[in-house]
A and B are shown apart, each in its own frame.
Chain A
């Protein structure tokens, strides 16, 4: 472990370890993901059948892979709108974070990745197994799966950076609930959580592809399942990296600007 990144690695490990305490919560998440998985499968399979066996490039087999992979990744790629950081801004505990000799954004990233990677165990793997045993999952050849795992890790990073950028708005807004709820709705829809992005009408597809959101879910699913392969897969992963740089830089900028107007709340 190069000493330069050791503090971040330590935070990641500690956060991973702390998650073991929340195993019952992870189990609850698993059951919710599973229930909605069957619901999604029922609706989307009906759509494929109604369209004559193929819609937007999906047949029943590829749709099944999409359904179970999208559900499996939900614990790792958080499309929601958690408020950990916004809460710390609101209560003034952010003062503690700024009093540490660490970059705030990247130290929170390490903590979040610990949670994301932990969720692979109790949430992603069981769902993939259950999906494979019920309606089936098709996987890309080994090289594609490997690239898919990279895409999952990048999606986890990007998902954090997006939520961070929304949360850090708390430095300007006292109450971030509205923005966070809006973000959750937009991000989960455009990421392709409810309906795969290729099924969107053309104008919406164009809109979605101009945002970072499809990189969160659609991309790792496509690469893992082999729906996108070869140079196109590589390009999709590079597109994720592009968004990480853009959204990450936005978060850094907001943190720097916000720090100068931070009024730590409460004594």
Chain B
């Protein structure tokens, strides 16, 4: 394939669903994806974000040929996903965070062996790639364990390894970090960064986790109600919306509202000021700086940081755009 063919080309892509109205024979038409157009070049790393039901999964299903567009077209790796489904399947790797492509009753090792055959990898290539993935994703400890006995974190590493076994040129991850603990998320992200650095794999990622986007994606597509609401860099997105973070602090004793801080803005207080919420701009100040300023005024017992969720970012994006 020539370098000029984009990894993903979507033009006027539209998908409607008929939904039966409750208690009626009438059907409503719901537009899940609405006249969407974008291109992802080879080697790009794109975060595809939006609220639940915004149309993310619907788009992905059309990109891999398991859903027919109502209108418009999608080309993936230069192929027609519907007509050339099997050829396309050899060139892409897909992970649906909520579903498993592994064989439930069989050891992880056996799933990789089967996938190697399915993708018709030469034996030596399959062995070498399997060893490499097993090591990088730290699967050794559960390599002989049946899939149904794995923890979510272990299974997700195995899923991503399985999707990468045939060294696909495009990796599509649908909510890969959902339900994972902080450490597992971190390890997965580091692996994906290293994998992309080595193989130049194009990445399309849907997530609800801003951390995924920050660490993994150079470009962000925001979809809202089936339409593309933003296409650009993450800093660009941050610049268009308020991405302040919220610091919640628990203080040793009731304290007056912490107003007039240089590093953060007071939002609200609870329990006579025992718990207070402050907003700060992560681009300007760090958490220790805020903490230092607060500590000068009151004794801090505990603290937590709220990341702005994707929904929040999208909501703010829309609040700004609607006049």
Contacts and interface: CB of A to CB of B under 8 A. Distances in A.
Interface of A: 3, 6-7, 10-11, 14, 17-18, 21, 92-93, 95-96, 98-103, 259-264, 266-267
B113 A267 contact: no
Given A6-B117, A10-B113, A98 B100 contact: no
Nearest to B163: A99
B72 to A, nearest CB: 16
Contacts of A6: 117, 120
Interface in B78-114: 82, 85-87, 89-90, 94, 96, 98-101, 103, 105-106, 110, 113-114
Give the interface size class of chain B: 20 to 34
Given A96-B99, A101-B87, A101-B89, 18 more contacts: A7-B114, A7-B117, A7-B120, A10-B118, A11-B114, A14-B103, A14-B110, A14-B114, A95-B66, A96-B96, A96-B100, A98-B85, A99-B89, A101-B90, A102-B118, A259-B66, A264-B61, A264-B67
B318 interface: no
Given A18-B103, A18-B106, A99 B117 contact: no
B176 interface: no
Nearest to B88: A101
B156 interface: no
- 8 smallest beta-carbon distances between A and B, as pairs: A101-B89, A18-B105, A10-B117, A7-B117, A98-B66, A101-B86, A7-B118, A101-B90
B67 A3 contact: no
B27 interface: no
A95 B89 contact: no
A17 B67 CA distance: 34
Interface string B122-155: 0000000000000000000000000000000000
5 contacts: A21-B105, A99-B89, A101-B86, A267-B57, A267-B175
